[in-house]
Every structure is written in structure tokens, then in C-alpha cells.
Structure 1
């Protein structure tokens, strides 16, 4: 180990010509006496130039590290596994914080949590004694207004984006009605977003607001079940959010530009 240390120290602190002279002296030859000795040539005629390769590799590694630091504003980039572990830890902490709110508001029957590959799903829904919205309305009742307002600032404690979806039961409007379950579920999702933001949710945390109508019932046996009337808040993993960005484009160019070009 000491010999290796000395070799590395010599290669880092002296010039190429000085290294040649040192190695030549160690082998009883000098580069100044006309000898044909090559200190970088191994015995047997192979010329792998191990010391030179080591230096070049070190320079390449230093260059790569410097590039990483420039891209990250002067700080070494975080390893992917570390990012994923940190994200999982943040979601687990968020889970605990929301569970505390559920207990504080005695909301076990109207607010539940579920972990998915895409993130943490929070379901806010009616039960038999408390309605989130009056029938056919997108105005939150006071209890749910306060509950969502309390939830709002919790999401600011993590970096993840959220998606808000509105769902209705299968009750139908008249066939000629200009307003239907699509409108209603969208308006309810927007009402939930406003309540969350009123409580302190930063608006940039919201990545998408969806209208789902009655297309995805929780209770498939009873299309009119209170469980189907709900708001879903999905706290997205970084991978899930990036998938949406890739599909739509960060400024919509993946969708809007092709359509505009066809219209031209």
C-alpha cells in the first residue's frame, strides 16, 4: 500500500519528464545517456501505459464530477436511489400527518388513505350521515370545507405534485340538460382545489384537476352508493409526475403543436 501511495503521489506531483527520469534512475538508466529504456513500457514488449491510463482516467472522473457540480449549481448531484428513498420517506411522513388530521376531525368514515405505485391516494367521500356536497351541487358543506382547508398546508411540506379528481354517482340529469355529471364532477374537483388553497396549499403544487363523472365507481354493485361520490387527491411520485410531463409536454407542446400543425 505504501508503494502504491508513493507511485500515485509521484505521478500527481511531478511532470512527465521528471517521472521518466525517476523511473530511469530506479532502473539504472538515464534518459539523457541515449539509452532506449522506456519507463512506460512493460516487460515483454506490451505498452499499456498503466500510469498514463490512470492519470487520464482520473482526469476524466474529475471532469465528469465538475460537470455534475455545474449542473447542480455547484453541489454534487444526488444519487437516484437517495432521491427515491427520500421521496418514500416524505410520503410516509405525509401519511402520518394526514392520519393525525383524520383522528382530530373524527373523519375515519369520510377520509381514507391508500398507497399506490403512483403515490399516495387520499379519498374524501360521503358517508350515510355527512354529505360533502348537496345533491347536484358543487358547494362544499361546512364540515368538508373545514376538513380540506386543514389539509391544504400539509402538502407544502413535500416536493411532490398533486392531482385532484372529482367523481359522482350514476344519477343522471335529463337528456337535454346542458349541465351533467361531467360538469358536476369537474366543478366539485375545482371546489376542493379552492378549499385546499384557501387553507394554504401552494397553487403550483397542483399538477392536474380532473372530471371523472361516474366512470370509475368504487362500489360497482351499487352505482348510486355514497362511496362513489368522492374527491380523490393523488400525491404523485416524481416518476408519475414526470410521465405526465412527458405525455403533455411541460408547456403543452407535445399535444398543442401537432394539432395546430394539422389545422394549418
Structure 2
């Protein structure tokens, strides 16, 4: 304080205080760790879904819906007379576990019931194939028939779309996608499948080098390859064949576009059994009796 001319002057000095950031806790680290863990779990789920097949994904989902040991037994105490066997954890306390029980064997299905079930499955498959065809707007290229032998699916050419390039077994992209959609539908039932290729009456100039028999067979094989690549079980296909122009769809017009077709025949159980009886199961019903008869003749 200074005095000037009898007046006193007060001088106040203000010192600037340094600002210090408040103390931050570790809560943000916990939140960041939770976020990182959640992202890692998300990437793991996406990776598993991408790397596993559809059947494996169904098995994984089924595992989450099954009861675990701790869901079944919420208490460690085993009641007297219960049908359990004790297990021991590291602490030495018993854990009850259910005794395995044998489920009663299902009654054998009668041939009539099996055939009725087969017919219902084929009818449902026909509806599913029709829905796929409608989505692709391919009704003019598809004909579906339910016949006594099973479900007959005809995929044909028309004036707007050709299934194969002319005189070749190269499948057009549109029909390749359509057949690929059929594969999961065909997998929904366990019936055997026949694939047959057909051509119109147009012939090659050099019948010795390549003809309609070769072409129809190659087209049937190409259809089989597309179906199996799309997921159809190979064991379901019992026959792949070519019939050239011997079974025309429009016999009154041998060169009609619809004569160029692929037929997928989904056989009933009785029809597939009849086929096996004709060819024999791995040949034992056909080849072996012939060999035995020949041996008797030579003797």
C-alpha cells in the first residue's frame, strides 16, 4: 500500500492459476474393453456362419436349445430314491446326472403309410418348385406333373429362352440359376432322382463324330453337375441318361423348341424300389443269377 498526497492506493495482485484437468477414472477402459469384446464376438459369429455349412449351422442352433447339466439339475442334493448317479467335482461334492434311458423303438412303418407319406412329400415339393418358378417368371419353361411314379419336372426351351446354346451342352446363365434354386428344394425329401436329357429331331451332319445321343447325355450330365454344385446330395441321383429325340414332347412337330428339354423325375419309394429290382442292388440281384445260370449250363 502506497500513500500519494494523503491518499492511500491499494494494489491487488492476481496470480493466474494453472488449470489442472480433473482426475479421470478407469470407467472408459471398462467400456472400451466391453466394446472390443462385443466386436470380437460379432466377427467370430460372422466367421463361423460363413465357414460352416447349412447343416452345421442347424446343429449349432440345436445345441443352444438343448438342456445342459446345470439346467436339468439346479441343486446338488440328490433326493433319496432318485434315478441319478453321483459325479464329483474338484471340491468333492457330488453332482447328480440323469441316468441314460433307452427310448422305445418306433413302430415299423407299413408300406401303405410309407407310400402315403411319399405322396404328401411329393405334392409339397411340387408346390415349392412352382413357387420358385413363379419368382423367376419361368412358367413358360417349366411343366410339372404328378404321375404314379412320382414328380415329373420338365425344363424346356421356348421362343424367348433357350436352355442350352444350340447344338451344345453349355447351359445358359438363367437356367443355371434356376436349377441352382431347385437343389435345396429337392434336398427337402429323401426320394431318388433321375435326370434325362432330350433333343429335338435336328440332326448333325456327321453322325459318327457327334449326334443327338451324345448331346442329350451331355446336357443331362451338365444339369446334374449344376444341381450338385448347388448342394444337391449326390447320393440322391440314381440315374443320368440321354434319350436323343426318341421321346418328343411335341411329336407332331419334331423341331419344336419344347422338345429340347431336361427332365427331373423325383421317384416315389415304390418306383425307386422297382428300378432297383430291375437293375439290382449293386448287381447282386441281376448279375449273380446270370453267372450262376451260365455255370450250370457249362457243367
Question: Which position in structure 2 is the counterpart of 1:104?
Answer: 135
- Secondary structure in structure 2 of the residue aligned to 1:113: strand
Deviations 1:159-213 (A, max 9, x none): 2111000000011112453211111100000000111111110001101111100
| 1: CA distance, partners of 2:282 / 2:146 | 29
Question: Which position in structure 1 is the counterpart of 2:161?
Answer: 130
| 2: CA distance, partners of 1:120 / 1:103 | 18
TM-score, normalised to structure 2, is 0.61
* Structure 1 residues 259 and 141, CA gap change in structure 2 (3 angstroms): farther
The total of aligned residue pairs comes to 192
Offset, 1:258: 5.9
* Structure 1 residues 76 and 210, CA gap change in structure 2 (3 angstroms): same
1:166 maps onto 2:166 in alignment: no
- Secondary structure in structure 2 of the residue aligned to 1:150: helix
Question: Which position in structure 2 is the counterpart of 1:180?
Answer: 211
Structure number with greater Rg is 2
| Corresponding residue to 1:86 among 86, 93, 117 | 117
| 1: CA distance, partners of 2:133 / 2:196 | 20
* Structure 1 residues 176 and 215, CA gap change in structure 2 (3 angstroms): closer
1:227 maps onto 2:252 in alignment: no
| 2: CA distance, partners of 1:87 / 1:176 | 42
Deviations 1:103-143 (A, max 9, x none): 10001000120111101100001010100011110010100
1:205 maps onto 2:205 in alignment: no
| 2: CA distance, partners of 1:147 / 1:228 | 19
Question: Which position in structure 2 is the counterpart of 1:32?
Answer: none
What does 1:13-28 align with in structure 2 at a 5 Å threshold? none
- Secondary structure in structure 2 of the residue aligned to 1:251: helix
Is the CA contact 1:153–1:201 (under 8 Å) kept in the aligned structure 2? yes
Unpaired runs of at least 5, structure 2: 1-103
| 1: CA distance, partners of 2:287 / 2:120 | 36
> Counting helix residues as a fraction of each chain, which structure ranks higher?
1
Is the CA contact 1:153–1:196 (under 8 Å) kept in the aligned structure 2? no
Question: Which position in structure 1 is the counterpart of 2:6?
Answer: none
| 1: CA distance, partners of 2:178 / 2:153 | 13
* Structure 1 residues 83 and 225, CA gap change in structure 2 (3 angstroms): same
